[in-house]
């Protein structure tokens, strides 16, 4: 193949992903003097951070009843006790400094008085500790973008990281990138590559994520030999829009937001009712009720729907407390607007109940990282939703915003320092990258076959039904068989309508499908292995939590082309932190 | 429909391409009315000059209307409507610049209505004469 | 639309890389209740024209990347309701990469030149900034701008005058109103066309984030008159 196939570029640090984690990593790497190129798969504002409500859990000192220990406890309890406690401790301790960083970039936290931030509650929080800005996730992503631009991060849009380039010792020395705007291949030689590509929400039929979150970075890291952790845990937001189809699945935050519980931990949240008018959460969690954690709520709602007590449209009813309407409108006007536009004025005014359903939101597990964002592959780092371990089996609402800041920064800092050690890629490494590019170019040339959009829908339906909120051994085994079939028979026969190289969506989706299937397979294998119910992972055949056997994490690695899982003890504060690449001390 | 005095919700932005672009209508009418005023003044000056300056008198044999068109009821209607519209629109712009809170639809409708009323008066009174 | 019926859709197509000149292609799409323009576009892509190039991500009006013109009006495809007859075109005046996808590189370049991050006198103190609640709300409102560029696309002054566009004024105001920012925002606004605005409020009418860029511009202009700025320093 001609040397024109792959254009070569060079940078110290290559960041894949334009959300909060990627941006924060870029800012920090630039601060350490590294040259940074940040790749966005589409326009730079298309990311999951953008879509977030931007709620930020942190101990500011403004609530005398709260402390870092309480925040830590809530995080571990919310994670069903399998969080990496060292990472969780770092999260709760560094959240405040990172909140100030955001403020320094131009994010203005809402407040009641000039000096004091407004502090509210969130699901699973035993104390009020949640901050927010009026511009929500939009504000977070915008201030970080402008700060990154000013600091000299080179941001390139329509650049899809397809694979990493590894030397013979498996060290990552570059990234193979498809320039979607021009249809050209680019090999970025880099000293360090940070995976900040977000999660896997697009694997599910009903989801709350952006179209680009097809698990690319997680799959790329997995194929490169990195370990994944807790990959069986997928968080479903309990309440999301049920209709119309255009907004189906978009989060409506949490039931606690719709009641006095948002302002007072003893208050009532918005109530969830089935078609019989029963407040079904009382069967599952009579203490926290609708103010509890997302895993319990989502499962409860899903079971009501599956057992026939849901609405014809496929949801249950949320009954908001009309007394908090004005506060809600004041705090979350964007959500009020969407409720108005899709559910009508009475629902928007909290004058009548409206329909809600669970929706795939957040990949709780992901690429295993150490405290400094290193994966188990040299030269490869991860942060944000793509990384795993911080949140255990379930993430608290409001914990993702500090996560991306805290671990984004750590990954950027480390990447900048360690990029100086890097050697340029060998000829063999470049040849491998070119071969991969040729392989993916071949998709454009196939004359017959099946088009990606239909296969994508198949995968999404399969995952929703069998690797979703309600799982069992038979369904998971069957899912694996189907995923294998899709990979072996369908993937090699994907074709596109047009050979144009510029912004070819089908081509992009064909490449995404390989990533989706890799991650789907890992998720299904891990879900099959964990024979208990914990957090978001609910097994009908093992419906209870089994601490004696399963108070542990599942680590997943690619062995002979298949995911292999291994159970290992927790990383606790008392045990020594496991060195990267080795088994944790028991 | 809610009947009690209610807190205002954010607006529904899902039909942006369905309504009229009020700002465009207002702006374009302002431009045309301005051009009408300028055109009127230009023609009127030339016409009056032709009456008074010997060298220009021949223009009136070619275009006799130059000196008399301002008497036509329709011309006056168009001029007065334009002047009304243009002045009110200008006043509206100034008020907004100074911080006044005006309804875009309400103030535009009022401006157009005033211009039409003035035009109508000219035509009716002119026709009656 | 609330009832099922066939929609007649004309979509702008072009591919500069393959020499395909701009033209329109017609599609008929079965309407479903409550469809948005994005649903129609995706339906065409999935069922009729697999080579259609279009952009979207969040589906609910937060990323701002799905802007298109529908029947001549710039809108967010994911928000705008589908209509029985539609002409869908890429967002003008940006260069078209292919079909409905535009290149916003020049906009990002202009954003970069404006340095739209808080330019502090001294580093952040590591403690809470003091900001009046009303001011925090004002900045947060301006910060809700999703940079969808609908206002820039629709602005008649952008088309005729040396004016970058309403969105730039909103971004400058966001910084200008932040007590910690020391940037020459008013001067930047004037340099980028603050005085060219016609005051027509088309931007206000079309903004999907419920911001009034025209009011932002008026606020800036009042500052200019009432609090004139010396070169390089803020008012």
Whether B28 maps to a domain, the answer reads: yes
- Chain A with chain C: Cβ pairs closer than 8 A: 209
Chain mean position to CA C227: 29
CB C158 within 8 A of CB C149: no
CATH class of A430-569: mainly alpha
| pLDDT value at A197 more than 90 | yes
Are C97 and C109 part of one and the same domain?
no
**Domain CATH for C11:** 3.10.20.30
A312–C contact, CB cutoff 8 A: no
Quickly state the pLDDT bin for C3 (edges 50, 70, 90). low
Token pair 């694979």 is found at A163
Percent of all residues in chain C with a pLDDT value above 70, rounded to a whole number? 95
- For the residues C27-53, what does the mean pLDDT come to? 94
Tokens at residue C215, please? 């009011």
| pLDDT value at C232 more than 50 | no
Q: Please, what's the largest Cα pairwise distance for chain A?
A: 69
A313–C contact, CB cutoff 8 A: no
Token pair 């004696």 is found at A548
Whether B122 maps to a domain, the answer reads: yes
- What pLDDT score was predicted for residue B125? 81
The nearest CA of chain C is from the CA of A6 a distance in Å of 18
Q: Please, what's the largest Cα pairwise distance for chain B?
A: 73
| pLDDT value at B85 more than 60 | yes
Mutation for testing the C interface, residue in A146, A327, A330, A359 having most C CBs under 10 Å: A146
Whether C24 maps to a domain, the answer reads: yes
pLDDT tens-place string over residues A446-476? 989 999 999 999 999 999 999 999 999 999 9
Q: Please, what's the largest Cα pairwise distance for chain C?
A: 62
**Could you give the 3-state DSSP secondary structure of residue C171?**
helix
CB-based contact C54 A45, cutoff 8 Å: no
- What pLDDT score was predicted for residue C142? 98
Give how many domains chain B has, as a whole number: 1
Q: Which CA distances in Å does A88 have to A265, A399, A400, A549?
A: 23, 10, 12, 22
Are C75 and C112 part of one and the same domain?
no
Whether C155 maps to a domain, the answer reads: yes
| pLDDT value at C174 more than 50 | yes
Percent of all residues in chain A with a pLDDT value above 70, rounded to a whole number? 97
- What pLDDT score was predicted for residue C233? 44
Quickly state the pLDDT bin for C5 (edges 50, 70, 90). confident
- What pLDDT score was predicted for residue A586? 30
CA distance A218 to A516: 9
β-bridge mates for residue A382, sequence order:
A195
| pLDDT value at B17 more than 50 | yes
Tokens at residue A410, please? 């750590």
Give chains near A: 3+ CB pairs under 8 A. Answer: B, C
Tokens at residue A40, please? 């966005």
**Domain CATH for C112:** 1.10.1060.10
Counting other chains too, the contacts that B85-93 makes at CB distance below 8 Å and 24 or more residues apart are B85/B29, B85/B30, B85/B33, B85/B111, B85/B112, B85/B114, B85/B115, B86/B30, B86/B33, B86/B34, B86/B37, B88/B114, B88/B115, B89/B26, B89/B29, B89/B30, B89/B33, B90/B30, B93/C199
Phi, psi of A196 (to 5 degrees): -135, 45
CA nearest neighbour of A244 among C60, C61, B2: C60
CB C84 within 8 A of CB C1: yes
| pLDDT value at C1 more than 60 | no
User: For the structural domain made of A237-359, what CATH number should be given?
Assistant: 3.90.700.10
- What pLDDT score was predicted for residue B6? 75
What is the DSSP code string of B21-75?
A: -HHHHHHHHHHHHHHHHHHHHHHHHHHHHHHH-GGGTHHHHH-THHHHGGGSHHH
Phi, psi of A564 (to 5 degrees): -120, 130
Whether C231 maps to a domain, the answer reads: no
- Residue A576: in which H helix or E strand, if any? none
Are C19 and C120 part of one and the same domain?
no
pLDDT tens-place string over residues C136-166? 999 999 999 999 999 999 999 999 999 999 9
Are C131 and C81 part of one and the same domain?
no
Are C93 and C158 part of one and the same domain?
no
| pLDDT value at A584 more than 50 | no
The DSSP 8-state label assigned to residue C61 in this structure reads: S
Are C109 and C67 part of one and the same domain?
no
Are C112 and C43 part of one and the same domain?
no
Are C114 and C219 part of one and the same domain?
yes
| pLDDT value at A2 more than 70 | no
**Domain CATH for B111:** 1.20.1300
| pLDDT value at C43 more than 70 | yes
- What pLDDT score was predicted for residue A376? 98
pTM of the model: 0.94
Q: Of A209-213, A545-549, B41-45, which gets the smallest average pLDDT?
A: B41-45
Interface of B with C in 7-36 (CB under 8 A): 10-11, 13-18, 21-24, 26-27
Phi, psi of A556 (to 5 degrees): -130, 135
- Chain B with chain C: Cβ pairs closer than 8 A: 64
Are C132 and C54 part of one and the same domain?
no
CA distance A172 to A193: 7
Please compute Rg for chain C using Cα positions.
Answer: 20
CA nearest neighbour of C137 among A172, A349, A139: A139
- Residue C13: in which H helix or E strand, if any? strand C6-15
Average pLDDT along chain A: 94
CB A366 within 8 A of CB A230: yes
Average pLDDT along chain C: 93
CA distance B103 to A452: 50
Token pair 């900034």 is found at C129
The nearest CA of chain B is from the CA of C213 a distance in Å of 13
- For the residues C214-229, what does the mean pLDDT come to? 89
Interface of A with C in 80-99 (CB under 8 A): 97
pLDDT tens-place string over residues A312-343? 999 999 999 999 999 999 888 999 999 999 99
CB-based contact A345 B7, cutoff 8 Å: no
C61–B contact, CB cutoff 8 A: yes
CA atoms within 13 A on the CB side of C99: 22
Whether B120 maps to a domain, the answer reads: yes
Are C168 and C63 part of one and the same domain?
no
pLDDT tens-place string over residues C110-138? 999 999 999 999 889 899 999 999 999 99
Question: Is residue C33 left, alpha or beta, with left meaning phi > 0 and alpha meaning psi from -120 to 50?
Answer: beta
| pLDDT value at A3 more than 60 | no
Q: Which residues in chain A touch residue C56, judged by CB atoms under 8 angstroms apart?
A: 211
Quickly state the pLDDT bin for A262 (edges 50, 70, 90). confident
Tokens at residue B25, please? 């209508």
Sheet holding A387-388, edge to edge: A387-388, A366-368, A228-229, A552-559, A562-569
Q: Which residues in chain B touch residue A325, judged by CB atoms under 8 angstroms apart?
A: 7
Are C123 and C198 part of one and the same domain?
yes
- What pLDDT score was predicted for residue A399? 97
| pLDDT value at C87 more than 90 | yes
Whether C76 maps to a domain, the answer reads: yes
The DSSP 8-state label assigned to residue A585 in this structure reads: P
**Could you give the 3-state DSSP secondary structure of residue A204?**
coil
Whether B98 maps to a domain, the answer reads: yes
- What pLDDT score was predicted for residue C230? 45
Phi, psi of C21 (to 5 degrees): -70, 155
CB-based contact A337 B14, cutoff 8 Å: no
- What pLDDT score was predicted for residue A575? 58
Q: Where are the domains of chain A?
A: 237-359, 430-569
Q: Which domain holds residue C68?
A: 6-102
Strands A56-57 and A130-131, bridge-based pairing: antiparallel
Q: Residue C168, class by beta-carbon neighbours within 10 Å (0-12 exposed, 13-18 middle, 19+ buried)?
A: buried
Quickly state the pLDDT bin for C229 (edges 50, 70, 90). low
CA distance A55 to A62: 16
CA nearest neighbour of A360 among A472, A250, A459: A250
pLDDT tens-place string over residues A479-535? 999 999 999 999 999 999 999 999 999 999 999 999 999 999 999 999 999 999 999
Q: Which domain holds residue B95?
A: 23-128
- What pLDDT score was predicted for residue B127? 66
Percentages of chain C per state (helix, strand, coil), in multiples of 5: 35, 20, 45
Whether B104 maps to a domain, the answer reads: yes
Whether C17 maps to a domain, the answer reads: yes
Higher pLDDT, A204 or C234: A204
Quickly state the pLDDT bin for B2 (edges 50, 70, 90). very low
CB A174 within 8 A of CB A161: no
B7–A contact, CB cutoff 8 A: yes
CA distance A152 to A29: 11
The DSSP 8-state label assigned to residue A390 in this structure reads: S
- What pLDDT score was predicted for residue A579? 41
Quickly state the pLDDT bin for A295 (edges 50, 70, 90). confident
- For the residues A50-65, what does the mean pLDDT come to? 96
B2–A contact, CB cutoff 8 A: yes
Whether C31 maps to a domain, the answer reads: yes
Are C77 and C128 part of one and the same domain?
no
CA distance B48 to A281: 88
Quickly state the pLDDT bin for C80 (edges 50, 70, 90). very high
Which distant-in-sequence residues (6+ apart) come within 8 Å of A568 by Cβ?
A552, A553, A555, A583, A584
Give how many domains chain C has, as a whole number: 2
B10–A contact, CB cutoff 8 A: yes
Give the ipTM of the model, two decimals please.
0.95
pLDDT tens-place string over residues A91-142? 999 999 999 999 999 999 999 999 999 999 888 889 999 999 999 999 999 9
């Amino acid at each position: 193949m001609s040397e024109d196939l792959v254009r070569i570029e060079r940078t110290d640090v290559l960041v894949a992903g334009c959300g909060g984690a990627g941006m924060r990593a870029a800012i920090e790497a630039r601060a350490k003097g590294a040259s940074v190129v940040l790749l966005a798969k589409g326009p730079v504002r298309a990311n999951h951070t953008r879509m977030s409500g931007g709620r930020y859990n942190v101990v500011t000192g403004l609530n005398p009843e709260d402390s870092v220990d309480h925040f830590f406890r809530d995080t571990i309890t919310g994670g069903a006790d399998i969080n990496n406690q060292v990472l969780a401790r770092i999260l709760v301790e560094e959240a405040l400094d990172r909140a100030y960083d955001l403020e320094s970039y131009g994010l203005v936290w809402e407040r009641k008085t000039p000096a004091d931030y407004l502090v509210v509650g969130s699901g699973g929080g035993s104390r009020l500790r949640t901050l927010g800005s009026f511009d929500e996730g939009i504000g977070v992503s915008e201030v970080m973008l402008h700060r990154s631009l000013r600091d000299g991060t080179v941001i390139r849009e329509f650049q899809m990281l397809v694979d990493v380039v590894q030397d013979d010792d498996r060290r990552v020395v570059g990234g193979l990138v498809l320039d979607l705007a021009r249809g050209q291949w680019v090999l970025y030689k880099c000293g360090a590559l940070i995976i900040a590509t977000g999660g896997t929400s697009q694997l599910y039929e009903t989801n709350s994520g952006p179209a680009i979150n097809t698990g690319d970075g997680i799959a790329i890291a997995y194929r490169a030999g990195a370990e994944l952790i807790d990959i069986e845990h997928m968080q479903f937001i309990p309440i999301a829009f049920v209709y119309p189809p255009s907004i189906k699945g978009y989060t409506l935050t949490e039931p606690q937001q719709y009641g006095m519980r948002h302002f007072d931990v003893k208050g009532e949240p918005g109530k969830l009712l089935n078609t019989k008018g029963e407040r079904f959460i009382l069967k599952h969690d009579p203490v926290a009720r609708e103010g509890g954690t997302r895993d319990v709520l989502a499962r409860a709602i899903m079971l009501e729907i599956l057992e026939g007590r849901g609405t014809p449209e496929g949801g249950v009813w949320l009954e908001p407390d009309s007394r908090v309407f004005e506060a809600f409108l004041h705090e979350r006007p964007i959500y009020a607007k969407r409720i108005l536009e899709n559910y009508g004025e009475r629902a928007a005014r909290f004058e009548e109940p409206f329909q809600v359903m669970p929706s795939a939101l957040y990949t709780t597990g992901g690429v295993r990282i150490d405290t400094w964002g290193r994966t188990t592959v040299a030269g490869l780092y991860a942060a944000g939703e793509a990384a795993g371990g911080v949140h255990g089996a379930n993430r608290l609402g409001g914990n993702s915003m500090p996560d991306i800041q805290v671990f984004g920064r750590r990954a950027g800092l480390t990447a900048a320092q360690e990029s100086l050690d890097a050697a340029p890629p060998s000829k063999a490494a470049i040849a491998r990258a070119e071969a991969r590019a040729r392989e993916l170019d071949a998709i454009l040339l196939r004359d017959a076959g099946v088009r990606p959009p239909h296969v994508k829908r198949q995968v999404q339906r399969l995952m929703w039904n069998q690797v979703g909120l309600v799982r069992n051994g038979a369904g998971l085994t069957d899912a694996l068989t189907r995923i294998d079939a899709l990979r072996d028979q369908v993937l090699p026969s994907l074709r596109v309508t047009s050979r144009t190289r510029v912004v070819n969506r089908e081509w992009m989706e064909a490449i995404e499908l390989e990533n989706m299937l890799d991650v789907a397979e890992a998720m299904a294998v891990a879900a099959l292995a964990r024979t208990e119910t914990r957090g978001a992972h609910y097994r009908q055949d093992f419906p209870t939590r089994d601490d004696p056997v399963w108070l542990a994490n599942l680590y997943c690695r690619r062995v002979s082309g298949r995911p292999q899982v291994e159970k290992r003890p927790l990383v606790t504060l008392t045990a020594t932190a496991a060195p990267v690449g080795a088994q944790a001390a028991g | 429909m809610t009947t009690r005095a209610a807190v205002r919700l954010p607006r529904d932005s899902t039909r942006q391409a369905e309504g009229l672009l009020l700002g465009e209508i207002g702006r374009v009418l302002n431009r045309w009315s301005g051009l009408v005023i300028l055109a009127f003044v230009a023609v009127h000056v030339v016409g009056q000059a032709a009456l008074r300056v010997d060298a220009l008198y021949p223009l009136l044999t070619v275009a006799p209307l130059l000196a008399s068109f301002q008497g036509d009821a329709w011309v006056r209607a168009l001029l007065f409507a334009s002047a009304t519209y243009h002045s009110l629109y200008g006043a509206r712009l100034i008020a907004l610049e100074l911080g006044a809170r005006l309804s875009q639809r309400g103030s535009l409708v009022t401006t157009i209505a005033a211009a039409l009323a003035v035009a109508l008066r000219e035509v009716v009174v002119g026709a009656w004469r | 639309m609330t009832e099922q019926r066939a929609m007649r859709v004309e979509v702008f197509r072009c591919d500069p890389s393959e020499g395909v000149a701009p033209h329109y292609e017609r599609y008929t799409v079965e309407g479903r209740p409550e469809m948005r323009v994005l649903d129609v576009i995706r339906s065409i892509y999935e069922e009729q024209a697999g080579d259609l190039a279009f952009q979207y991500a969040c589906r609910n009006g937060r990323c701002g990347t799905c802007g298109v013109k529908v029947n001549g009006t710039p809108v967010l495809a994911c928000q705008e309701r589908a209509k029985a007859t539609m002409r869908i075109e890429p967002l003008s005046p940006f260069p078209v990469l292919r079909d409905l996808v535009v290149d916003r590189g020049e906009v990002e370049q202009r954003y970069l030149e404006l340095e739209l991050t808080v330019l502090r006198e001294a580093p952040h103190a590591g403690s809470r900034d003091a900001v009046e609640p009303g001011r925090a709300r004002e900045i947060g409102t301006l910060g809700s701008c999703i940079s969808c560029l609908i206002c820039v696309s629709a602005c008649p002054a952008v088309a005729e005058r040396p004016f970058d566009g309403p969105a730039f004024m909103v971004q400058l105001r966001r910084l200008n109103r932040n007590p910690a920012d020391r940037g020459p925002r008013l001067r930047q606004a004037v340099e980028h066309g603050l005085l060219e605005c016609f005051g027509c409020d088309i931007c206000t009418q079309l903004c999907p984030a419920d911001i009034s860029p025209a009011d932002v511009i008026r606020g800036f202009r009042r500052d200019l008159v009432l609090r004139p700025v010396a070169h390089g320093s803020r008012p």
